[in-house]
Amino acid sequence: MAKSNRLADEGFARFKTYLREQRLKSTAQRDAIVEIFLKGAGHVSVEELYGAVRKQNPRIGYATVYRTMKLLTECGLADERHFRNGEARYEIAEKDHHDHLICERCGKIVEFEEDRIEALQEETARRLGFELRGHKMELYGVCLDCRRRGREN
Amino acid sequence: MAKSNRLADEGFARFKTYLREQRLKSTAQRDAIVEIFLKGAGHVSVEELYGAVRKQNPRIGYATVYRTMKLLTECGLADERHFRNGEARYEIAEKDHHDHLICERCGKIVEFEEDRIEALQEETARRLGFELRGHKMELYGVCLDCRRRGREN
DNA sequence: GCGATATTGAAACTCATTTTCACTTAGTTC
DNA sequence: GAACTAAGTGAAAATGAGTTTCAATATCGC
């Protein structure tokens, strides 16, 4: 088991380095949470992560998962997102920026980047006197699969 | 007092009609909340609204403000938004769609529309197999005033 | 191994929002 | 306009995501 995955291993190493630098401690719980997060599919909620982590070690508490995800976010390995319902979802931080397209029926989340939009955002902010620092853009719609599947919802 | 304002009056009438249609009751509390909301500057939080409403009628409860804002949202007179911190802010629903540019220093909220961005969003969704239904776009930056005022923050 | 310091889990606590419930009202009905 | 009934109200309790507290435990540096 514990199938190896280059990205996950790299991330794990980065996390360990971060802990050392900050004089924080390495613990079995942190290792378990970080490992599962890094091997996962992305856009996980704390609840989902908690569930997965518990399967491996049922004594880990909710608070520890929250605390660890905060750490991961601080050290730049995870990005915290808040979609429509507000509960946090984490994704593995990638070097390149992207936005999200979300299916309103099945909840599928697709990532995309569109430089032309970014350029226009920059231009718009400048035009209104702002120095752009960041943005949040989410597109909501219905995916192909759901449209094929008919209108249940 | 009760300075008149065409838009607010129209909205108020629409609200009254909605209540009648839905066989809901007109009450002094609802009237007060809706009137204050419609005459206000937009992007109010429930807390701010509650404060303003209380000045006029101190016996109105928090729950009633929430309930009334929900009603206003349902009948299309108010739009509910969630910016970075997550607490809801309401704005008077305008006919034309717009997005927001928010100053990270002073919290100022500027509305804008940019059809070229909308067009690219539509195109992007289609390219990825989605039928676009809506979107959320917020730009964050620092406004001119805050940049002039130097870097306190 | 020792000891200082960080971490943990469980439970208590926030904070925004919603729900409950006994009581009051608005909009009919006669 | 009195009576009726469904809807609305305020206060307080409940919710749900997330955070903090605290006593017990584990880690790291020597």
Contact criterion met (CB < 8 Å) for A138 and B135: yes
Query: Do B86 and B121 lie in a common domain?
Result: no
Query: Do B39 and B76 lie in a common domain?
Result: yes
Q: And the tokens for B128?
A: 């990825």
Polymer length in residues for chain A: 153
Nucleotide with minimal C1' distance from the CA of B61 is: D10
Instruction: Answer whether A92's CB lies under 8 Å from A75's CB.
Output: no
d(CA A46, CA A66): 7
Query: Do A37 and A108 lie in a common domain?
Result: no
Q: What is the pLDDT of residues B73-91, one digit of tens each?
A: 999 999 999 998 889 999 9
Contact criterion met (CB < 8 Å) for A134 and B141: yes
Question: How many structural domains is chain B composed of?
Answer: 2
Who wins on pLDDT, B150 or B108?
A: B108
Kindly tell me if the per-residue pLDDT of B152 is higher than 50: no
d(CA A88, CA A82): 5
Query: Do B88 and B104 lie in a common domain?
Result: no
B141 Cβ under 8 Å from any chain A Cβ: yes
Alpha-helical (H) ranges within chain B are 6-21, 28-39, 46-56, 62-74, 115-127, 144-148
Query: Do B129 and B75 lie in a common domain?
Result: no
- 120-149 of chain A touching strand D, CB 7 A cut-off: none
Query: Do B87 and B38 lie in a common domain?
Result: yes
Query: Do B41 and B66 lie in a common domain?
Result: yes
pLDDT for A4 equals: 62
Query: Do A35 and A85 lie in a common domain?
Result: yes
d(CA B23, CA B113): 37
Share of chain B above pLDDT 90, in %: 80
CATH number, domain containing residue B116: 3.30.1490.190
Structural domain including A141 reads: 99-148
Query: Do A112 and A83 lie in a common domain?
Result: no
Contact criterion met (CB < 8 Å) for B117 and A112: no
Instruction: Answer whether B106's CB lies under 8 Å from B145's CB.
Output: yes
User: What is the mean pLDDT for each group of 10 consecutive residues in chain A (153 residues)?
Assistant: 71 94 95 95 93 93 96 94 90 89 92 95 96 95 89 47
B153 within domain boundaries: no
Query: Do B72 and B25 lie in a common domain?
Result: yes
Measured in angstroms, what separates residue B105's CA from nucleotide D22's C1'? 36
Measured in angstroms, what separates residue A17's CA from nucleotide C18's C1'? 44
